[in-house]
């Protein structure tokens, strides 16, 4: 449980799950049948999108939504569960993407290269979390930003390995003669990957470690008093969150087919942060909903624009502005919802 | 030897000037952070919008001084309006909600400017007085634009410190930043101070945009400088106004000198490595008295 | 009851559904109907290259509207669908899928930005659509030879090699240096300059990089100056060109500078004023100066301004010229327009320059790169003046 998906109900359960009180568990149990609602909704939405947008287009979107959701899950672990601010998650995604791209290029099958990518992301997370021993809150977030900028710079400068700013091509996903080249195959692969990452995260959330994260998020002093090793627990969040995001990054590299350091800059980090906030930081499904907004909304705006009468002139900034407006509206809507219930969203 | 010395001073001056701009933007970050307890990710966009406003007003035939005042005041008004209509609702909520809200608002501002054909077709010059002159001091050549930036930054810093020390609003703003609840009990209109902080932050960003204009011209992406200014603000402790200014100048100078002295390619990493080091050595920033 | 498992099952079910619909989607000649030809373009209208994307789009629109006003291409109207990817390959991939499937475009024109181009080109080519004249210096946009890929922009490497060689030979420089943007653009220019110098038995004396969006060039210029360069090649865009030159002149360093075609813009001297006087540049297409323009060009500038509310710049010309090449190709392909016919027509296409001053573009079955040449220009009295013809 703890993964309610229907938006209206979910926030209540979100707050409840955070409290981990018996009453809260009751609410979650009441929405026991809800976990199916989200996937069912998604399952309905997809054919509809296919009909409206075209199969490949819809599948392409779904693939990227799933991939971004995986990367977002890592942020959920760090931000939503352990309560740490991370402004440099893009670098962890980059580590996964580059590891996978380099290994796939020399012919490693995914079963071997993916674990390496995840491990590299986890190492990156461990390094990024080092300042947590001394810094807290926004300052720590800032140090992750600095970490990300340094990683980006290293990827640019180490051109012998990464081909630097010129970027490198990534072969299609697959091994042993099979390649995921059709949109359908890519979608199915990313779906399986999302399911794997999701199940792993769910196990984590229910584990002792997950409870320790939430304890730290609520009150560090109290958590420490309960015998939780703050530094180690925070590091664990970064290691695991980094691994999950790197896992997403590995697939990103394959689906995009070309990676360069600039793709994993500040913009991606903010996108990921925004993604989990929009979807709801406290729960795993937040990553999925958020990915849907971040990836699909600009596309929907583009489709809606085509339906409008008149030439496309002047639409240059219009789409950006509309996307901004959607984000503003979503944030305000969430804030209003919180206010009504008197809860506070971290 | 003399040649090397001269080069060093020249590069140092350039670094100081760009550092002043970083410092001004960092000041605007800190102002907002202190009053609203959030990091604003639209300062870069406000900077760009403010600079464009001055360009537009001047093109409309206003004299430079009026255009400058109008542009900066316009940015302040914009900040106030955004606070009243959107940012206010984040009061009492998490850092993150306000951060994302400013991000969205920034996209709207950027999109709005991009939609203007002339803005998406080119860059603009803002003819500030003395900006193109070069003053000679013996073998040294001092670019007017850089001197202007430093002078105005010094003036703004002095004005701000007077404002926070002696004016009623300034003191009230500080009270809110220290402890909003007690301030409210003492009769400080907290909500109005919140508006004031955002307006001031926007005005400072716009001013930084005007000063940046002789260096980078006025164009859509000039706001990217905020990415450098934010680390500067953190370097200064995020809660300290003098710290922010010092952080900005420090970053500007280090960046410039790193490019001169260190091997090719390290220029861009050094500021961030330094930032990491500074964060670790001074966990609360250079100028801060309290930890976050 | 796990949500993940449910999700997985639901989607497996979908898989079979979707593969059924996929078969229906195949149409004979995508994007071409009796009434119109649909053309797609993935540009940057909101990201770091928005200053380039907007004029390119407007230039293309103007050429298509001209063609439509003249009755279209073999009676078919041209329709341009522009998607904004903001230099982000993820948005580029989605935009490409949209244009491929939803808009069913016949060809892609002028996709912008190497990350976007590299991410989208495989899907476009796999879908059998034309990939024409992208804004990317990457070699794979025309080589190895592919029936769907054509490029009209001369590669930085080729024309910078020619320009460097010409400059060094005719003006006798011995200490050439480079200031470059540390991305694929800068690297391509560097390759060209290095090979040009190598042919004359020289090499770069000093090179120094800056990051896109850099503001301060004092340290780079100081570095180049202390290396005693007598020619500084700039792999910069407009703003950085002006900043670098201003910095040098301000400190009394009167070194000659040569900028790639990315710095060849009227904005360079509008913004730089006296400081950029004497700057050498490479031009692959001339600027549209309203002042002293021949009547046809003046009329074109007037129409552009009236239509889009801004003066055309060199990128508007690029948009117009590349759209013009498309129109010519489509016209020569005949009334029964198919992709194969278009490719065949493009491979025969030879143009001889036009009122905008473009070079002749020559495509052949062996070579899909229309031009390799640039010409040398210099800023004199606040205006770019051509010094040479297109350099071999």
Residues C140 and C277 in one domain: no
Whether C289 and chain A come into contact, CB under 8 Å, resolves to no
Residue A42: what pLDDT?
67
Q: What is the pLDDT of residues C102-125, one digit of tens each?
A: 889 999 999 998 889 998 998 899
- Asked if the structure places residue C326 within a domain, the reply is yes
Q: What backbone phi and psi angles, to 5 degrees, belong to B134?
A: -125, 120
Which domain, by its residues, includes A238?
Answer: 62-287
Which domain, by its residues, includes C105?
Answer: 36-154+294-361
Q: What is the pLDDT of residues B158-183, one digit of tens each?
A: 999 999 999 998 998 888 888 888 88
Whether A285 and chain C come into contact, CB under 8 Å, resolves to yes
Chain B residues whose beta carbon lies within 8 Å of the beta carbon of residue A336: 89
Name which of A137-146, A321-330, B259-268, B277-286 the model is least confident about. Answer: B277-286
Burial of A307 (0-12, 13-18, 19+ CB in 10 A): exposed
- Asked if the structure places residue B79 within a domain, the reply is yes
Query: Considering its fold, how many domains does chain A have in total?
Result: 1
- Asked if the structure places residue A53 within a domain, the reply is no
Q: Across the interface, which of A35, A166, A306 has its CB nearest the CB of C3?
A: A35
Chains touching C (at least 3 CB pairs under 8 A) are A, B
Domain containing residue B253: CATH number: 1.10.3470
- Asked if the structure places residue A17 within a domain, the reply is no
Q: What percent of chain A has pLDDT over 70?
A: 80
Are the beta carbons of A32 and C1 separated by less than 8 Å? yes
- Predicted ipTM? 0.85
- Asked if the structure places residue B287 within a domain, the reply is no
Q: What is the pLDDT of residues B191-234, one digit of tens each?
A: 888 899 999 999 999 999 999 988 888 998 888 888 888 888 87
Tell me, rounded to whole angstroms, the distance of Cα A191 from its chain centroid: 14
Residues C163 and C147 in one domain: no
- Asked if the structure places residue C209 within a domain, the reply is yes
Q: Give me the helices (H) in B37-94, please.
A: 43-59, 64-85
Under-50 pLDDT residues of chain B? 287-292
Query: Considering its fold, how many domains does chain B have in total?
Result: 1
Query: Considering its fold, how many domains does chain C have in total?
Result: 2
For residues C328 and A330, which has the higher predicted lDDT (pLDDT)?
C328
The residue-averaged pLDDT of A321-345 equals 76
Residue C214: what pLDDT?
82
Report the SS3 class of residue C100.
helix
Under-50 pLDDT residues of chain C? 1, 8, 11-13, 15-27
- Asked if the structure places residue A279 within a domain, the reply is yes
Residue B84: what pLDDT?
93
- Asked if the structure places residue B286 within a domain, the reply is no
Which domain, by its residues, includes B90?
Answer: 9-281
DSSP structural state of residue C231: E
Are the beta carbons of A184 and C19 separated by less than 8 Å? yes
For residues A38 and C113, which has the higher predicted lDDT (pLDDT)?
C113
Nearest residue of chain A to residue C5 (CA atoms): A195
Q: Which of residues 76-105 of C touch A (CB under 8 A)?
A: 80-84, 86, 88-91, 93-95, 97-98, 100-103
Strands (E), B144-202: none
Mutate to test the interface with A, among C5, C11, C26, C129 (most CBs of A within 10 A): C11
Kindly state the tokens that stand for B203: 């005005």
The residue-averaged pLDDT of A133-145 equals 76
- Asked if the structure places residue A26 within a domain, the reply is no
Are the beta carbons of B120 and C54 separated by less than 8 Å? yes
Residue C74: how many CB atoms within 10 A of its CB? 13
- Asked if the structure places residue C76 within a domain, the reply is yes
Q: What is the pLDDT of residues A153-165, one digit of tens each?
A: 888 888 888 887 7
- Asked if the structure places residue C5 within a domain, the reply is no
Residue A36: what pLDDT?
53
Residue B87, CA distances (Å) to A329, B40, B42, B136, C233 in order: 12, 10, 12, 48, 48
The residue-averaged pLDDT of A214-237 equals 85
Residue C59: what pLDDT?
94
Are the beta carbons of A325 and B100 separated by less than 8 Å? no
CA angle A86, A274, B285 (to 5 degrees): 35
Residue A312: what pLDDT?
52
Q: Across the interface, which of C10, C83, C101 has its CB nearest the CB of A56?
A: C101
Q: What is the dihedral sign for C-alpha A235, A240, A243, A247? A: negative
Interface of B with C (CB under 8 A): 3-4, 7, 10-11, 13-15, 18, 21, 110-111, 114, 117-118, 120-123, 125, 132, 134, 141, 143, 212, 215-217, 219-221, 224-225, 252, 255-260, 264-265, 267-268
- Asked if the structure places residue A103 within a domain, the reply is yes
DSSP structural state of residue C175: -
Kindly state the tokens that stand for B16: 């100081």
Residue B284: what pLDDT?
60
Chain B residues whose beta carbon lies within 8 Å of the beta carbon of residue A274: 100, 103
pLDDT at A311 over 90: no
Taking Cα atoms as reference points, which of B14, B10, B260, B257 lies closest to residue B136? B10
Residues C168 and C279 in one domain: yes
Residue with tokens 């009492």: B92
Spatial distance between the Cα atoms of A26 and A15, rounded to a whole number of angstroms = 12
Residues C138 and C53 in one domain: yes
pLDDT at A197 over 90: yes
- Asked if the structure places residue B288 within a domain, the reply is no
Domain containing residue C316: CATH number: 3.40.50.2300
Residues C100 and C217 in one domain: no
Name which of A26-35, A115-124, B110-119, C20-29 the model is least confident about. Answer: A26-35
Q: What is the mean pLDDT of chain A?
A: 79
Residue C33: how many CB atoms within 10 A of its CB? 13
Residues C59 and C140 in one domain: yes
For residues A168 and A54, which has the higher predicted lDDT (pLDDT)?
A168
Residues C78 and C186 in one domain: no
């Amino acid at each position: 449980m703890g993964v309610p998906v229907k938006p209206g109900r979910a926030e209540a359960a979100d707050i409840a799950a955070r409290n981990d009180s018996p009453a809260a568990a009751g609410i979650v149990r009441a929405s026991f049948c809800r976990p199916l609602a989200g996937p069912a909704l998604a399952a309905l939405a997809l054919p509809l999108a296919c009909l409206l947008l075209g199969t490949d287009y819809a599948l392409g979107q779904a693939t990227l939504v799933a991939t971004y959701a995986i990367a977002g899950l890592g942020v959920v672990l760090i931000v939503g569960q352990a309560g740490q601010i991370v402004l440099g998650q893009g670098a962890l995604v980059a580590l996964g993407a580059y590891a996978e791209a380099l290994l796939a290029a020399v012919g490693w099958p995914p079963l071997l290269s993916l674990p390496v990518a995840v491990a590299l992301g986890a190492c990156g997370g461990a390094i990024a979390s080092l300042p947590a021993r001394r810094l807290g809150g926004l300052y720590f977030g800032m140090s992750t930003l600095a970490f990300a900028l340094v990683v980006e710079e290293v990827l640019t400068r180490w051109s012998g390995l990464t081909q630097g700013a010129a970027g490198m091509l990534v072969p299609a996903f697959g091994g042993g003669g099979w390649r995921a080249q059709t949109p359908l195959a890519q979608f199915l692969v990313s779906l399986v990957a999302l399911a794997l990452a999701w199940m792993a995260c769910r196990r984590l959330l229910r584990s002792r470690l997950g409870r320790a994260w939430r304890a730290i998020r609520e009150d560090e002093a109290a958590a420490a008093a309960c015998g939780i090793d703050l530094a180690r627990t925070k590091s664990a969040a970064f290691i695991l969150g980094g691994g999950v995001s790197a896992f997403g990054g590995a697939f990103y590299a394959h689906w995009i087919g070309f990676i360069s350091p600039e793709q994993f800059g500040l913009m991606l980090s903010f996108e990921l942060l925004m993604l989990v906030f929009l979807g709801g930081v406290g729960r795993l499904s937040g990553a999925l909903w958020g990915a849907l907004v971040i990836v699909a909304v600009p596309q929907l705006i583009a489709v809606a624009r085509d339906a409008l009468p008149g030439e496309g002139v002047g639409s240059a900034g219009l789409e950006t502005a509309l996307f901004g407006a959607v984000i503003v509206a979503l944030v305000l809507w969430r804030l209003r919802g919180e206010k009504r219930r008197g809860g506070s969203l971290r | 030897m003399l040649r090397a010395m001269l080069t060093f001073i020249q590069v140092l001056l350039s670094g100081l000037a760009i550092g002043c701009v970083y410092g001004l933007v960092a000041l605007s970050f800190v102002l907002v952070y202190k009053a609203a307890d959030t990091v604003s990710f639209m300062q870069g966009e406000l900077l760009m919008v403010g600079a464009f406003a001055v360009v537009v007003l001047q093109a409309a035939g206003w004299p430079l001084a009026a255009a400058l005042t109008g542009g900066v005041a316009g940015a302040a008004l914009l900040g106030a309006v955004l606070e009243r209509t959107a940012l206010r609702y984040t009061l009492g909520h998490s850092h993150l909600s306000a951060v994302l809200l400013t991000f969205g608002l920034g996209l709207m501002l950027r999109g709005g400017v991009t939609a203007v054909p002339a803005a998406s077709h080119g860059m603009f010059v803002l003819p500030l007085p003395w900006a193109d002159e070069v003053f000679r001091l013996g073998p040294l050549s001092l670019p007017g634009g850089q001197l202007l930036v430093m002078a105005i930054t010094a003036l703004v810093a002095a004005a701000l410190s007077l404002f926070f020390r002696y004016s009623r609003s300034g003191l009230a703003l500080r009270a809110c930043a220290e402890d909003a609840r007690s301030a409210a009990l003492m009769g400080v209109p907290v909500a109005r101070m919140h508006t004031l902080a955002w307006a001031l932050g926007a005005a400072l960003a716009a001013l930084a945009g005007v000063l940046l204009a002789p260096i980078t011209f006025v164009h859509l992406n000039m706001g990217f400088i905020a990415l450098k200014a934010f680390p500067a603000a953190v370097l200064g402790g995020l809660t300290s106004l003098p710290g922010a200014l010092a952080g900005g100048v420090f970053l500007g100078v280090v960046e410039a000198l790193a490019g001169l002295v260190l091997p090719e390619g390290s220029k861009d990493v050094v500021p961030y490595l330094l930032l990491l080091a500074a964060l670790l050595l001074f966990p609360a920033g250079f100028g801060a008295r309290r930890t976050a | 009851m796990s949500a993940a498992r449910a999700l997985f099952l639901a989607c497996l079910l979908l898989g079979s559904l979707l593969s059924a619909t996929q078969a229906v989607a195949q149409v004979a000649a995508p994007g071409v109907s009796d009434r119109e030809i649909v053309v797609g373009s993935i540009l940057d209208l909101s990201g770091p290259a928005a200053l380039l994307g907007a004029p390119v789009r407007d230039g293309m629109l103007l050429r298509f509207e001209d063609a439509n006003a003249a009755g279209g291409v073999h009676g078919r109207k041209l329709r341009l669908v522009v998607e904004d990817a903001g230099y982000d390959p993820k948005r580029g991939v989605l935009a490409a899928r949209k244009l491929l499937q939803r808009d069913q475009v016949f060809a892609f024109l002028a996709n912008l930005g190497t990350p976007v181009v590299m991410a989208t080109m495989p899907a476009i080519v796999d879908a059998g659509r034309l990939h024409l004249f992208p804004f990317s210096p990457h070699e794979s946009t025309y080589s190895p030879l592919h029936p769907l890929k054509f490029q009209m922009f001369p590669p930085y490497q080729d024309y910078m090699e020619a320009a460097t060689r010409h400059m060094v030979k005719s003006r006798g420089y011995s200490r050439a240096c480079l200031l470059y943007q540390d991305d694929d653009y800068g690297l391509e220019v560097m390759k060209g300059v290095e090979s040009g110098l190598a042919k004359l038995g020289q090499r770069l004396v000093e090179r120094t990089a800056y990051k896109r969006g850099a503001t301060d060039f004092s340290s780079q210029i100081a570095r180049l100056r202390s290396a005693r360069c007598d020619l500084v090649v700039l792999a910069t865009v407009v703003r950085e060109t002006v900043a670098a030159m201003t910095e040098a002149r301000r400190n009394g360093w009167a070194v000659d500078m040569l900028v790639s075609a990315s710095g060849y813009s009227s904005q360079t001297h509008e913004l730089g004023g006296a400081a950029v006087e004497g700057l050498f540049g490479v031009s692959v297409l001339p600027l549209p100066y309203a002042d002293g323009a021949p009547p046809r060009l003046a009329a074109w500038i007037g129409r552009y301004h009236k239509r889009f509310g801004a003066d055309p710049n060199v990128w508007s010309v690029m948009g117009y010229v590349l759209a013009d090449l498309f129109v010519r190709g489509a016209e020569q392909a005949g009334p029964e327009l198919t992709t194969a016919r278009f490719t065949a027509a493009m491979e025969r296409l030879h143009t001889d320059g036009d009122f905008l001053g473009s070079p002749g573009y020559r495509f052949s079955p062996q070579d899909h790169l229309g031009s390799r040449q640039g010409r040398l220009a210099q800023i004199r009295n606040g205006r770019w003046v051509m010094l040479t013809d297109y350099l071999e």
